[in-house]
């Protein structure tokens, strides 16, 4: 029984189970991966209860957030919400004493919570989601100001989570403002590291096009969607396996935007992409 193991061995067993969960997830064994991670979380709770330290709280908080993400993938929103709320409590306490150590993980937990609470089944009755989204953005903005290389992506993901929450609340104009901020950041970064940031730029443009379509701004949606296709297409053609699942999503919003703007799709742009997708089918 794990209760009979020394604390250090319980911690080591939890880490091993977590590694096993990650490996199982990569193999498509999501149900078994969830069981491994749930048991790892139980072990870390035992460790923290037996010998509470900042490290045990930090490890447990991260595990709770990761387990919440797993439940979110399975649409288990209640369990995911419960787990990420626990992690936020832990990281808030840690950030109070050591902001440098705990704030990035607190932001990750806040982002996870915003994603959960932005689900259509929850958003109408939840008044906390924008408060949490704003906190994630404010905290990550300060981190990015101090170390832009390390935390700019975290800032962008915080802003994107806020945008998703605003979309769920039908606050589309404010959501578009958030989309535009992320696009601006990635446009600035893409020339220096195209393969890293062009896909992120394309994703941000795709989200913007969806919002613009909802706002009946067909021409602006078309411009954003076309830029998204042009950003991701060259990378898809050289790394098709990496973007095979994502590319059709960009094409879908591009075609929808063409229709909304009364434009014909650019066949010269689309034909190489469509040919590669057909080869992979």
Please state the rounded mean pLDDT for residues 88-113. 93
Distances (CA, A) of 159 to 48, 137, 156, 166: 32, 6, 5, 10
- Identify the sign of the CA torsion 72, 76, 82, 83: negative
Higher-pLDDT residue of 44, 281: 44
The pLDDT of residue 97: 85
pLDDT band with cut points at 50, 70 and 90 for residue 88? very high
Per-residue tokens: 19: 């590694």
CA 20 to chain centre: 22
The mean pLDDT of the chain is: 92
pTM exceeds 0.85, yes or no: yes
Please state the rounded mean pLDDT for residues 59-63. 96
How far apart (Å, rounded) are the C-alpha atoms in residues 102 and 124? 31
Q: Are 44 and 63 in contact (CB under 8 A)?
A: yes
The pLDDT of residue 1: 45
Per-residue tokens: 258: 């063409």
């Amino acid at each position: 029984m794990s209760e009979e193991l020394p604390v250090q061995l319980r911690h080591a067993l939890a880490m091993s189970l977590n590694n096993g969960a990650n490996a199982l997830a990569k193999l498509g064994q999501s149900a078994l991966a969830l069981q491994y991670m749930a048991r790892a979380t139980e072990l870390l709770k035992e460790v923290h209860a037996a010998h509470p330290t900042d490290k045990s709280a930090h490890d447990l908080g991260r595990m709770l957030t990761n387990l919440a993400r797993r439940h979110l993938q399975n649409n288990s929103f209640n369990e995911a919400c419960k787990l990420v709320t626990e992690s936020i409590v832990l990281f808030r306490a840690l950030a109070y004493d050591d902001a440098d150590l705990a704030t990035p993980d607190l932001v990750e937990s806040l982002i996870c919570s915003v994603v959960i609470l932005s689900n259509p089944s929850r958003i109408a009755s939840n008044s906390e989601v924008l408060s949490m989204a704003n906190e994630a953005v404010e905290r990550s903005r300060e981190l990015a100001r101090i170390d832009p290389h390390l935390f700019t992506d975290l800032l962008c993901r915080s802003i994107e989570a806020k945008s998703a929450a605003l979309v769920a609340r039908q606050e589309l104009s404010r959501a578009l403002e958030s989309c535009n901020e992320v696009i601006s950041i990635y446009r600035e970064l893409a020339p220096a590291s195209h393969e890293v940031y062009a896909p992120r730029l394309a994703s941000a443009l795709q989200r913007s096009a969806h919002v613009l379509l909802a706002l009946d701004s067909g021409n602006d949606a078309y411009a954003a969607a076309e830029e998204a296709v042009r950003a991701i297409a060259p990378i898809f053609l050289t790394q098709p396996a990496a973007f095979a699942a994502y590319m059709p999503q960009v094409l879908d919003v591009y075609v929808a935007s063409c229709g909304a703007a009364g434009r014909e799709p650019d066949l010269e742009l689309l034909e190489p992409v469509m040919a590669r997708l057909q080869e992979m089918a």
